[in-house]
Structure formats: structure tokens, C-alpha cells
Amino acid sequence: MFESLTEKLEGIFKKLKGRGRLDEENIKDALKEIRMVLLEADVNFRVVKKFIEDIRMRAVGQEVLASITPGQQVVKIVNDRLVELMGGKSSQLKIASRVPAPIMMVGLQGCGKTTTTAKLASVLLNKGERVCLVPADVYRPAAVHQLKILGEKVGVDVYDSKGVEDPVRICVEAVKQASEGNYDTILIDTAGRLHIDSEMMDELEKIKNVINPSEILFVADAMTGQDAVSAAGKFDELLGIDGVILTKMDGDARGGAALSIRAVTGKPIKFIGVGEKLDALEVFHPERMASRILGMGDVLTLVEKAQTAFDEKAARELEKKIRKDSFTLEDFRSQLVQIRKMGSMQDILGMIPGFGKMKSLKNVNVDEGELVRVTAIIDSMTKKERIDYRIINGQRRKRIARGSGTAVQDVNRLLKNYVEMRKMMKKITKGGMKSLRGGKFPF
């Protein structure tokens, strides 16, 4: 996410921070570079023009030029302006005032609307809400079936349209049934087209008029850049949207849509899709996103992911085991499963402040498959083997390798790394972090 943009901005700021004193000429040159970087990132040119002018007005003031750390001051100004550009603060769904609250999911075909509808249902379900999905896309082949499968995976109900082909009637009857069934929220997956046409907009307008939705959310593919921005503007003009969900943000290295859409449409980005899994939908926080763009990490999101993935009671039990030097392969497996719940390792590492600036780690490619292989190897062990690794002899290693579909060398490497990790944990519990000087992490 924003990889190219972040790297180029870091280069510009590095030059600014290297100067003991800034003058208007230095700032002018830096802003010229920032302008080019933003345009290359596919940010709307009008947005770029205003953005640069706002920074120039703030950066050439005495507060910066007379500052002890003028380079840092400019970075702060850019950060503050990025936050403002993306909306200032996170925007919540307006669903508290109505029960059940209908939410219309709209957008062009291929933007990931149906999958995003299920992802949003997962978010609401985790908040304790009763959610019902409504398949109102009767045109795309298998759209109804796809939503039913996704609903089953998430664990929410899907309205049975019983073969009705009229999307407006489906929505009316779904709202009525949801009201009788005491649902809190109804997510309506409407039909999309390859382009905006009057027939599609007329149908959406009719649905809007009969169900009076609490929210109309426009789902956009972030990788389409300014096409997504212009489509959002058109939908808002013809239908009136309340917010945007940007999908495929994990594959968007440029970031033009995220930086332009609020300024162009006046509508907030409410969620971003950061992966294919059904839990890969995050609340959009402008201040955190600005921090990521400037290579400062995103500690708050990292902490929230960890709190969701890790069980507090289990963490305390694990701490006791580490202190008693009784950390087993079963415990190791549990930790790997919880780490995988947090998302891809590349994303997790990207949230750590300064990670992107470490040359030794800059181009590191985390093999997600390695975590799967390690889990498979441990799953192939007996309970006794997981508790006491010392009984795993040559014959047992061959059996474990066959059972996990790996090689004996993979089993040997896992056991070696596990033993090294136990030694490291023992050092930490006995002598604190000082005892690790000169050592290295086994993975």
C-alpha cells in the first residue's frame, strides 16, 4: 500500500532534513518534487495544485524558516495536510437511529462489491449486531449464489428472494422480513454495470426511494485510480452517496484514489479492503494513513489487530510457560495461528515505525507459505511429540515429513529454530534484553 509514493517522499524529506537551514528556494524545490510525486501517484491534478499551495503558504512562514529543525517542521506540515485531505478523522456508519438500518452497497461491476458486502457484515457481526444480507443483483450470473456462500462463511443470514426477479420488490420484502426478524442491519448488494447508465441509476433511485436507506456506500476499486474517483463523483451526483469503501488497497502502490476521493466528492472514505480474506476490511483512519504514507508506520492499527487476534488469558498463560521454560511446540503453533489472524506479515511489518527505512529489511520478502508449512509440520506430530520435542528421533522425523507433505530437512529446520527460540526466551527471562546482545533472532 502506497509503496512507491512512500519511498519517493522519504527521499525528498531526507534531503530537507539534511539541511541545517531552509530558505524559500529550498522549500520551492522540495514542493516541485512533491508535486511530481503526487501526480505520478495518480492524484487528481486539481487536488495536487491546492495541496501544494496550502503547504507552500504554511512552510515559508517564520515558524519553519526560523525553526531549529526546519526539515522536521515541513514533514509535520505535509502530514497535517495529508490528514486534512483525507477527511481529518474516521467517519462512522449512521445506523444507530434506525432498526433495522438498511445500507445500500453500490458501485460498478468488478469493484468487489459482493465480497465487500460480506466483509462489512463480518465487521458488524463482530460488534454484536444481527445482520442480514440481501441479494438485489439479479443480472450478474451466480451473484445471488455467491452472496449466499459468503454469508455462510461469515455466519450471517441471507434473504431468500424465492426466485423474484424485481430488485425493488426484493428490497421491500427483505426490509419487511428483517424488521419482523429483529435484525439490526440489512446490507443490500445491488447490481453493477461496466459503466454508468440511466437504467442502472433509475433502478438504484427506485430502491433508495422505497427503503430510505440509512447509508448508501459506494464501493470502488482503488487500483483504477482516477476512474474510481470520477465514478464516485458521478454516483454522488445522480444518487447521493454517504461514503466510500476502497477495495484492493493492499495492491495499490500509488494511492491516487485514496488521496483524491474526499477532496473531489466531499464524501468520506469509511472502510478500506486490505486483502482477500473476509476479515480484511478496516475502518479508514486518515491520521493513520498519513503516517503510513510518510513511512512512520501505524502502531495503533497494529495494536488493534493484536488485541483482536490474541487472547489475553492465553497470553498470561504463555508468559508463565516461558518463565518456567516449558514453552512447547503446541504453544508455538498457537502463536503462529494467532499471528496469521492479524493479516499478512508484509502488512504487519509495514506498520512498524521505521521498518521501511531499514535497508537490510527494505526488500525483504516474507514467505507466507512458510507459516503454513510450519503449522502443517506441527499438526503431523503426536501430542507427546509436541510436548517433548526430544523424543523426535530419525524415524519420527520421516513420519512427520510424510504426514505434512514436507521434507525431513524442513522438520529438522523447524526443530532447530524452535530450540534456538527456547534458548533466547530463557535468556530474556533470566537477564532481560541486555543478555541478548550479540545474539540473533532464529527466524
CATH number of the domain within which 24 lies: 1.20.120.140
Are 215 and 252 in the same domain? yes
Nearest to 107 by CA among 244, 262, 207, 274: 244
Tell whether 16 is covered by a domain.
Answer: yes
Tell whether 95 is covered by a domain.
Answer: no
Are 78 and 130 in the same domain? no
Tally of domains in the chain: 3
Domain at 228, CATH number:
3.40.50.300
Are 428 and 291 in the same domain? no
Tell whether 127 is covered by a domain.
Answer: yes
Of these ranges, 51-65, 151-165, 361-375, the one predicted with the greatest mean pLDDT is: 151-165
Looking at 85, 113, 146, which one is the last position of a domain?
85
* Dihedral sign (CA 233, 237, 242, 245): negative
Tell whether 90 is covered by a domain.
Answer: no
Are 292 and 375 in the same domain? no
Tell whether 92 is covered by a domain.
Answer: no
Are 287 and 260 in the same domain? yes
State which amino acid sits at residue 52. Answer: I
Looking at 296, 316, 337, which one is the last position of a domain?
296
H-type alpha helices, 24-112: 24-40, 45-59, 62-65, 70-85
Identify the pLDDT of residue 147: 92
C-alpha distances out from residue 390 to 323, 374, 377, 393, Å: 20, 18, 16, 8
| C-alpha cell belonging to residue 404 | 505434512
Mean per-residue pLDDT over the chain, rounded:
80
Looking at 52, 85, 118, which one is the last position of a domain?
85
H-type alpha helices, 163-255: 167-180, 198-211, 226-238
Report angle CA 303, 273, 224 to the nearest 5 degrees.
Answer: 140
pLDDT (average), residues 8-29: 78
The residue that leads in pLDDT, 443 or 374, is 374
How many helices (H) and strands (E) are present in the chain, helices listed first? 21, 8
Are 128 and 270 in the same domain? yes
Identify the pLDDT of residue 318: 59
Are 164 and 68 in the same domain? no
The residue that leads in pLDDT, 267 or 3, is 267
Structural domain range at position 343: 302-436
* Dihedral sign (CA 263, 211, 99, 150): negative
Are 312 and 268 in the same domain? no
pTM of the model: 0.68
DSSP 92: -
List % helix, strand, coil for the chain (3-state, nearest 5).
Answer: 60, 10, 30
Question: H or E segment at 101?
Answer: strand 101-106
Are 322 and 211 in the same domain? no
Are 337 and 367 in the same domain? yes
Whether the bond between 100 and the residue before it is cis, its omega within 30 degrees of 0, is: yes
Tell whether 46 is covered by a domain.
Answer: yes
Are 309 and 421 in the same domain? yes
Are 155 and 283 in the same domain? yes
Confidence tier at 243 by pLDDT (50, 70, 90): very high
Quick: pLDDT tens for 304-352. 555 555 555 665 665 676 666 677 888 888 777 776 666 665 566 555 5
DSSP 94: -
| C-alpha cell belonging to residue 178 | 428483517
Tell whether 91 is covered by a domain.
Answer: no
Domain at 419, CATH number:
1.10.260.30
Tell whether 442 is covered by a domain.
Answer: no
